[in-house]
Amino acid sequence: MQQQILHNLRGRILIKSRIMRVLILLFKVIKRIYKYICIFFEQITSFILMKLNGVVIDSGFRSRGIPSVDVTLGGSFVIGKNFEMNNGKKYNKIGRQQQCFFIVREDGKLIIGNNVGMSATAIICDKYIQIGDSVKIGGNVVIYDTDFHSLSSNIRNNDETDYFSTNRQDVIIENNVFIGAHSTILKGVRIGENSIIGAGSVVTKSVPENEIWGGNPAKFIRKL
């Protein structure tokens, strides 16, 4: 009798286990289908959003999620071939998820080269930012070519004088650079070809080519 009960119990457990496996498989299939549908519509929406902001886009543009784009009249934004980006909570889940932000102010010029990839990146261009070919930008990186405000408290207290007195300097990121997640690239910085910026770095001065830099403020670590 006990053996029969145990046999029946094992049978029920086996059936429940099989049902659970089917449900898990079904859930994963539905999730994948939903993801592809979302990517399809997000891709279209992102492309339209870019074009309505006057962005010049070459072939191979791919967007997962929808970025925030604001190109002011007089600003210029150009993207090269095979550009890829991840936006929001669903893609490249490494923490601190957000949209990509592309803010190009009046007279600003933002140029992104070919084969560039980024996730949850914020680029604020007041003057001139150039990103070369085959650059990889990790999650939550920010790139600024401006201080946003004057360093003088007297000037800073007046919105008009503050804006026109703010220090703005070009940012140049050369080909094949890799910028680690959560890094900050500040005004006036040039990052040389093939160089690597460690995760969480704050780059305040230019980095020569073929070097690894990291820290806050970022310092030389070693040659490549």
Enumerate domains of the chain plus CATH numbers: 3-223 (2.160.10.10)
Distance CA 97, CA 101 (A): 12
Which one-letter amino acid corresponds to residue 84?
Answer: E
pTM: 0.85
Distance CA 193, CA 190 (A): 10
Rounded mean pLDDT, 87-109: 90
- Whether residue 51 contacts residue 57, with contact meaning beta carbons closer than 8 Å, is answered with yes
Query: Which single residue is written with the structure tokens 């592809």?
Result: 36
Residue 47's pLDDT is: 96
Residue 214's pLDDT is: 97
Strand, coil or helix: 4? helix
Of 149, 156, 190, 219, the active-site residue reads 149
Residue 4's pLDDT is: 61
- Let me know if 7 is a catalytic residue: no
Which one-letter amino acid corresponds to residue 196?
Answer: I
List pLDDT tens digits, range 155-203: 888 777 787 788 999 999 999 999 999 999 999 999 999 999 999 999 9
- Sequence length of the chain is 224
Higher pLDDT, 10 or 97: 97
